[in-house]
Structure 1
C-alpha cells in the first residue's frame, strides 16, 4: 500500500509525522506523495481539509484518516497515544472505508473567463466585498428569493457541524446526500424579506445564485478564501464524487457530535 502524511506543520505534528512514516515504511508500505492510497493527516480537522483539497482529484483511489494533536475533531479521531495501534491497523488490516457526500461548486463568469469547478468537504461561503450582499437564489431553476444580508453558507452533511451550526443550521447525518443553505445576518423588515430559515436540498436539487448589483464576491471553499470578480452565476449541488475515510475502529457520527458539543 502507498501512503503519505500531511502535517499541521508545528513541531509536535511534524514529530508524529516522522514517526508514522518510519513505522509504516518498516512494515514495507511505500511512501508516495503523488499517488497515495491512504492519506494520514496530523493536526486537526483543518489539516484534514488541507489534505482533502490537496488530493481531491484522487478521491476514487485515496482514503483519509486523521490524528488530532489538539481537541477531538470530526475528521481527526485518532489520538497521538494510539499511533502504534493505527500503524498496525493500516499495515495489517483490510482497508474499510465510509463515504461522505461532498459539495460541488461551479462558478460561471461574464466575458470570456473559463468556468471554475470546486469541491468542498465542509462548506462554501459567499459574501460581498463591500456593502450589503444582494443575490437572487434559484432552486431547481426557479427564483426562490432575493436575499439581502451578510452572505450565505452552503454546507455538506459532515460540514453541518462547522460554520453552518454557528449560523443556526441543522446537524445532518452524512448518510443523507444533501446540501444546506444557511443565512448570514439576513435583512428582514417591512420592505425586504427572506425565508429566515436554513434550507436542506436533496441530491437531485440544484441551487444557483445570481448577482443582482455587485459582481465581485469573496468566496470560501472550506479553509480557502479568495476574491472572484465579474461572476455571472454560482451553482451548488451534491457532488457525484465522495470522500472516503479509512475506518479502523467504530466512531459513529452521533457519538462524534456528542463528544464535541455535549460531553463534559
Structure 2
C-alpha cells in the first residue's frame, strides 16, 4: 500500500506530518506522492479539497483519509492526537471504504466544452448586474432566473455554502444534486421557484445565459475562466470520491457537533 500526504504549512500541522512519516516508516508503509493508493490529508477541509483536485485524474483508484489539526472538519475522521491509532488500523485492517458522489460541471462556449469535477459546489454569479439565465431540468425549461446567482452542490457540499443560502443538509451518500438561488428577484415581473431544489441521479440541470460580462464561475471556491461561456450543464458524475472508513464516522453526529453542539445521547 503506497501512501501520499497532502498538508498545509501551519506549525501544528508540520509537527503532525513529521510524526506521521515516522509512523508510516515504522509500519513499512511506503510514501508515494505521485501514484498513491491512499492519500492522507493533514490540515482542514480546505486542505482535503485541494488534495482531491490534486489527484482528480486518479480519483477512481485512490482512497482518502483526513486528519484535522484545528477545529472540527467534515472531511476529517481523525484528530491530530489520534494518528498513532489511525496508522495502526491502516496497516493491519482491510479497508472499509465508503463512496460519495461528485458534481460534474460542463462549461460550453463557441470554442467547445470543458469539464470540471467538484467536491462541494459550483457557483454562477454576475457581479455588477443581475444575472439573467434560463434554467432547464433535463431538456425542459424550468424557470427564467433573475438574481445574483445560482449554487449547485453535492450532498457533501450541502453543509457548506449551500446551507448558508438556505439549502437542506443531504445525507452524503445519496446520488443527488441541490440547486439554491443567490438573492433571486421575486416580484410581479420576475418569478423563480425561490426554494432549494434537489434532483435525482438520472436528471441534470442546464443553465443558459447570453451576456458573459461580469460572469464569475467557481468550482469548490476556485474561480474559472468564464470567457465566452454561454451554457453550463450540471450532472452527478460517474466518478466518486472514496474514503477509508474506520467505523467511527457518523455524518449526523458531525452535523450536530458543527452546528448545534449539544451533548450526544443514544436511544
Query: Same fold by TM-score, threshold 0.5 exceeded?
Result: yes
Aligned residues: 262
Question: Is structure 2 residue 244 aligned with structure 1 residue 246?
Answer: yes
Q: How does 1:86-101 map to 2 (within 5 A)?
A: 86-101=86-101
Give ranges in structure 1 of 5+ residues lacking alignment: none
TM-score (norm 2): 0.95
**Residue 151 of structure 1 contacts residue 183 of structure 1 at CA under 8 Å; is this kept in 2?**
yes
Displacement of 1:25 in angstroms is 2.0
Question: Is structure 2 residue 28 aligned with structure 1 residue 31?
Answer: no
Secondary structure of the residue aligned to 2:60 is coil
Structure 2 residue corresponding to 1:257, chosen from 248, 255, 267: 255
TM-score (norm 1): 0.96
**Residue 212 of structure 2 contacts residue 227 of structure 2 at CA under 8 Å; is this kept in 1?**
no
Runs of 4+ in 1 over 3 A off after TM superposition: 212-216
Displacement of 1:212 in angstroms is 3.3
**Residue 165 of structure 2 contacts residue 182 of structure 2 at CA under 8 Å; is this kept in 1?**
yes
**Residue 6 of structure 1 contacts residue 17 of structure 1 at CA under 8 Å; is this kept in 2?**
no
Q: Name the residue aligned to 1:176.
A: 174
**What is the alpha-carbon distance in structure 2 between the residues aligned to residue 254 and residue 141 of structure 1?**
35
Q: How does 1:146-161 map to 2 (within 5 A)?
A: 146-161=144-159
Q: How does 1:47-196 map to 2 (within 5 A)?
A: 47-110=47-110, 112=111, 114-196=112-194
- Please give the root-mean-square deviation of Cα atoms over the aligned residues, in Å: 1.3
Question: Is structure 2 residue 25 aligned with structure 1 residue 18?
Answer: no
**What is the alpha-carbon distance in structure 1 between the residues aligned to residue 257 and residue 186 of structure 2?**
36
**Residue 216 of structure 1 contacts residue 228 of structure 1 at CA under 8 Å; is this kept in 2?**
no
**What is the alpha-carbon distance in structure 1 between the residues aligned to residue 242 and residue 155 of structure 2?**
14
**What is the alpha-carbon distance in structure 2 between the residues aligned to residue 7 and residue 168 of structure 1?**
31
